[in-house]
Structure 1
Amino acid sequence: MAVFPVLLDSDMALGSKHADVDDAIAILLALSESGLSVKGISPSAGNVSGEKSGANIDRLLRIIGCTVEHASFPSHTWDPSLWIYNRWAKQESSEIKTCFGNQMRSVDFIAAKLLESPEPLYIITIGPLTNIATLLSIYPESVQKIKAVYMMGGSWYTPGVDGGEAEFNILCDPEAAQFVFSFPLKIVMCGLDITKKRKIFPRDLSPWIDSGRPFLKYLAEVCISFMNFRALRDGYHPPYAFFHDVMPILALLYPEWFTFVPCKIDIDTDGEFVRGKTIIDVKLRGRQSFPHLVAKDVDEEKVLYYVVSKIMSAYGDIVI
């Protein structure tokens, strides 16, 4: 198998109260894959504020003893009036480490990694596209060093936030997303149409719990806690979650598990009720090429089995 050099960009919440675990699972998966060479990890702002995301990434890497270089400070969203700031303000206040990572801004860190690399790099985004848009705005020459962007975000048909048109990562910063899609980049979108094909129930994580391994049990318990919190908050049963963020990693490594459709992707940034909607154009409509791919289908049972087994085999010996 070829080894893909990658940069990871994540709004990781694990370490914060009521945290979703899927960013952490994706980072752990990427670091365990022999087919990936992770050159760096950058925090973005989405599930939590960027400062918390950076600290959470640092904490996870310390727990597993990983020395991959990681940035500290994310780019600001392109629209300071966005609703996401209210979300962060309502989250619990907690003491944030002021010294973690390499003390670089994500945008400068990503640019340095790209421009210093002897070969183009893949970028895997599992949060909003703010850092990548800022990169392309400040360092437009870096586009030549991006092999492709594999992203979790957007949606073709599946409803998004609160049953609306927009998926969370895109809705966090629609202008940034549209700016990224306007560049001549190969972008592979893994949206809600595939990430929501398979709900993850507490019973699916029983191998981690039954293993008796402390770190695996910790991951399972935090994930199940999030399932229960969200189910109670939103009034449904039984509790479940999704492993959204593993999808772009697996799409890069195992494209045969997926069905992709060539398309042109745009984001609605004007509509009052559809702001952040992903617009998938599968017809030529005057364009000469299709620079984007959208994942339309996936072998969801294979993905679940692979992720649970891979994390179990790679991190069973971690002591916390």
Structure 2
Amino acid sequence: MTKKVLLFCDPGIDDAIAIMYALLNPDIELVGVVTSFGNVTKEQATRNAAYLLQIAGKSDIPIIPGAAQPIQQENMVYYPQIHGDDGIGPIEPPEDLIYHVYPFDTIRVLIEHYKDELIIVDVGRSTSLASAFILFNEQIKKVGAFYLMGGSFFRPGNVTPIAEANFHGDPTASNFILKFAHNLTISPLNVTSDAYLTPEVIDEISQTVKNPYYLMVRPIFQYYFHAYKKLAPDIVGAPIHDIVPLIMMINPSVADYLYYDVKVVEQGDAKGLSYADLRPNGVAGQTRIGMKLNYDIFLEEVKKVMEMRYAENRGCSSENN
């Protein structure tokens, strides 16, 4: 059954690849994109999302601008050294790009329409999603499941020695979601840092001319890969963090999981640190936490979709999907 997905994001290169994956996967119906600050400004994230949708001929999918800043406002930090000045590496959306945006209340309309068929996937700062919980507190209970990219357990962070970017960017919002979201799965750096693609895989994808993004994939990946090589010269590929929650939703066997309640430190030097009570007498919780990536499954899922091989696996033509 096709998964109805409302995606919260801040494109960003790995967000952009996640959007591509969602649009190309016949098992996913992307019903809306909520954009916010994070890798870039809210305005740039919105523009990038619109551009990606237009390339795929999907301009009918609602784009919903969300939060422009975190709940506890601090100096805003963006990441052009990783994602480029405009968020998708060397690619710049056309200056004359025309697109339509929808009001934030569209989230409520989508929830009421799809009810428990709707799955919310949040791969950015959770400020917009927390706002939706507050504004639509009754409707949001109807959502079928939530998937969150964020956190890090027993391994380094990526913006501080201990904190992952999404949880660090608005830890108050992250805590809110971790407390109130039901059927919640989180994808921390434990799984997403191992979800890397190599230049060789990208070359394969870039040769798939029926993929509408085939001309874009290589240059944005190369930008991203070179940025990561500066941080870790020995790496063989670049992690595509934000694609992991979508793959978890389609194929849960892509990861091994623990079930614990999670909290985030909101202040001080440990800001953004995610933790769970894993002591022998700690109480297991309801949140499903990805702890180990099954890389072979991950790679096969990415290649199947991005190389548009899913039709072969289904024994039917892509026109029938």
Distance 2:162 2:307 in 1: 36
Matched, 1:290 2:290: no
| 2:35 alignment partner AA | P
| 1:225 alignment partner AA | Y
Do the aligned partners of 2:150 and 2:186 also contact (CA within 8 Å) in 1?
A: yes
Rate the CA distance shift 1:3–1:281 in 2: closer, same or farther, 3 A. Answer: farther
Distance 1:29 1:235 in 2: 26
Q: 2:298 corresponds to which residue? A: 303
Which of 206, 213, 220 is the equivalent residue of 2:218? 220
Q: 1:46 corresponds to which residue? A: 38
Question: Unpaired segments of 5 or more residues in structure 2?
Answer: 87-91, 311-317
SS at match of 1:161: coil
Give the superposition deviation at 1:27: 1.4
Matched, 1:87 2:83: no
Q: 2:9 corresponds to which residue? A: 10
Residues 11-48 of structure 1, C-alpha deviation per residue, up to 9 Å, x if partnerless?
Answer: 112xxxxxx2x212211222222322322111122111
Do the aligned partners of 1:32 and 1:314 also contact (CA within 8 Å) in 2?
A: no
Do the aligned partners of 2:185 and 2:288 also contact (CA within 8 Å) in 1?
A: yes
Give the superposition deviation at 1:153: 1.2
Say what the alpha-carbon RMSD is for the aligned residues: 3.0
Identify which range, 67-76 or 152-161, moves more after superposition: 67-76
Distance 1:69 1:203 in 2: 32
Give the superposition deviation at 1:250: 1.2
Do the aligned partners of 1:55 and 1:96 also contact (CA within 8 Å) in 2?
A: no
Question: What is the percentage of aligned positions where both structures have the same residue?
Answer: 21
Do the aligned partners of 1:119 and 1:145 also contact (CA within 8 Å) in 2?
A: yes
Distance 1:228 1:88 in 2: 14
SS at match of 1:260: strand
Do the aligned partners of 2:178 and 2:262 also contact (CA within 8 Å) in 1?
A: yes
Question: Unpaired segments of 5 or more residues in structure 1?
Answer: 14-19
Q: 2:186 corresponds to which residue? A: 189
Which of 60, 64, 75 is the equivalent residue of 2:56? 64
Matches of residues 261-300 of structure 1 in structure 2 within 5 Å?
A: 261-270=258-267, 272-282=268-278, 290-300=285-295
Distance 2:190 2:23 in 1: 26
SS at match of 1:157: coil
Give the superposition deviation at 1:241: 1.4
Matched, 1:143 2:132: no
Matches of residues 143-182 of structure 1 in structure 2 within 5 Å?
A: 143-162=140-159, 164-182=161-179
Give the superposition deviation at 1:150: 0.8
Rate the CA distance shift 1:123–1:158 in 2: closer, same or farther, 3 A. Answer: same
SS at match of 1:75: coil
SS at match of 1:164: coil
Matched positions, count: 302
Give the superposition deviation at 1:267: 0.8
Give the superposition deviation at 1:207: 0.8
TM-score by length of 1: 0.83
Distance 1:208 1:120 in 2: 31
Do the aligned partners of 2:196 and 2:238 also contact (CA within 8 Å) in 1?
A: yes
TM-score by length of 2: 0.83
Give the superposition deviation at 1:120: 4.6
Q: 2:103 corresponds to which residue? A: 104
Distance 2:147 2:279 in 1: 22
SS at match of 2:153: coil
Give the superposition deviation at 1:158: 2.2
Rate the CA distance shift 1:118–1:137 in 2: closer, same or farther, 3 A. Answer: closer
Residues 34-79 of structure 1, C-alpha deviation per residue, up to 9 Å, x if partnerless?
Answer: 3223221111221111111111010011011114422242223334
Rate the CA distance shift 1:273–1:3 in 2: closer, same or farther, 3 A. Answer: same
Do the aligned partners of 2:126 and 2:173 also contact (CA within 8 Å) in 1?
A: yes
SS at match of 1:294: strand
Identify which range, 214-223 or 40-49, moves more after superposition: 214-223
